[in-house]
Structure 1
Amino acid sequence: MTAEMSLDAAQALIGTETGLSQWHTISQEQVNQFADTTGDHQFIHLDEERAKVETPFGGTIAHGYLTLSLLSMLGAEAGTVRLAGTKITINYGLDKVRFLNPVRIGSRIRARFIMHSITEKNPGQYLIKHQVTVEIENQEKPALIAESLSLAVTG
């Protein structure tokens, strides 16, 4: 659920968790579709038997960029801070993306969002930065960490 709040109230959340998505299973079908869309047909993503034999992963893994691309869905699901009077919020980019742990096919992931900062870029435009961790169920090490940027246009 997205909570609408004043700039002061949103800034008071800096350093705190503002959203947690549900768990989502990564399927081979998703990975195959992503491979077809991006043209990345590396065997580690598509060939289970070869990946078992030739990699340390024990089978096929999701593309790192597939996991990263799910941040939009996971963020919408987790709910985020919405500044009062926001007309539109758009993706602005990412900072410091790191892929820390491969996501095996059949694994479940979720995303945890922590408010990092809110900066006025231009009058009525606020850059909102979240520290995002994509967790893999039953694993200590996350799949990825990133700073996700969005631009809230108000007024």
Structure 2
Amino acid sequence: MIVINNFDEYKSLEGTLVGTSSWHVIDQNQINRFADATLDHQWIHTDEQRAMNESPYHSTIAHGYLTLSLIPYLWKQIAEVRNISMEINYGIENFKFGQPVKVNDEVCLQAKIKSVTDLKGTVKVVVLAKLLIKNQLKPAYTGDVVFLYHFA
């Protein structure tokens, strides 16, 4: 894990692949809880029997937004940003889902710092995020995640 204490340390990481998180299994329980939280109970996510018989993947798949929502959790395994009074998930840009994550797939986040900008005391960081799927060549998604930090 990389530790970042201030703007200058963050800035020095521009263009750097800073790391990869540990693997995380997305199981049916997590998919079902996400479906309940978002009211998205589409059968491709929640009906295991129907998905096995009718889906081209022959299993349920994780919601794309479930995989996206893992970014803060997985990012914190890659980088510890210290001396901040506030951290904001500011946005996502240029995001593409490459392939679905099937139930019980293992995923990890790979992160590269694209840019670090000081906006009059607020530090804007753009991270190129790739969600890798174990034993798959194509990532589940690729895109830019934007964080805002207020260093103390």
TM-score by length of 1: 0.90
Instruction: Tell me what 1:17 maps to.
Output: 17
Residues 7 and 129 of structure 1, relative CA distance in 2, 3 Å threshold? same
- CA deviation digits over 1:30-85, x for unaligned, max 9? 000000111100000011221122221111000000000010100111215x37x5
Unaligned 5+ runs, structure 1? none
Runs of 4+ in 1 over 3 A off after TM superposition: 5-9
- CA deviation digits over 1:103-124, x for unaligned, max 9? 0001100000100001122x21
The structural deviation recorded for 1:2 is: 4.5
- Equivalent residue for 2:136, pick from 128, 134, 139: 139
- Is the CA contact (8 Å cut-off) linking 2:4 and 2:79 kept in structure 1? no
The CA distance in 2 between the partners of 1:5 and 1:70, in whole Å, is 23
2:73 is paired with a residue of what secondary structure?
helix
Say if 2:69 is the partner of 1:69.
yes
- Is the CA contact (8 Å cut-off) linking 2:84 and 2:151 kept in structure 1? yes
The structural deviation recorded for 1:6 is: 4.6
1:138 is paired with a residue of what secondary structure?
coil
Structural RMSD (CA) = 1.6
- Is the CA contact (8 Å cut-off) linking 1:15 and 1:115 kept in structure 2? yes
2:137 is paired with a residue of what secondary structure?
coil
The structural deviation recorded for 1:5 is: 4.1
Give runs of aligned pairs for residues 27-42 of structure 1, distance below 5 A: 27-42=27-42
- Is the CA contact (8 Å cut-off) linking 2:43 and 2:51 kept in structure 1? yes
- CA deviation digits over 1:101-149, x for unaligned, max 9? 100001100000100001122x211100100000000000111112111
Say if 2:83 is the partner of 1:92.
no
- Is the CA contact (8 Å cut-off) linking 2:92 and 2:143 kept in structure 1? yes
- Is the CA contact (8 Å cut-off) linking 2:6 and 2:151 kept in structure 1? no
* 2:38 maps to amino acid: T
* 2:130 maps to amino acid: T
- Is the CA contact (8 Å cut-off) linking 2:2 and 2:18 kept in structure 1? no
* 2:14 maps to amino acid: I
Give runs of aligned pairs for residues 85-124 of structure 1, distance below 5 A: 85-121=83-119, 123-124=120-121
Unaligned 5+ runs, structure 2? none
Matched residue count? 152
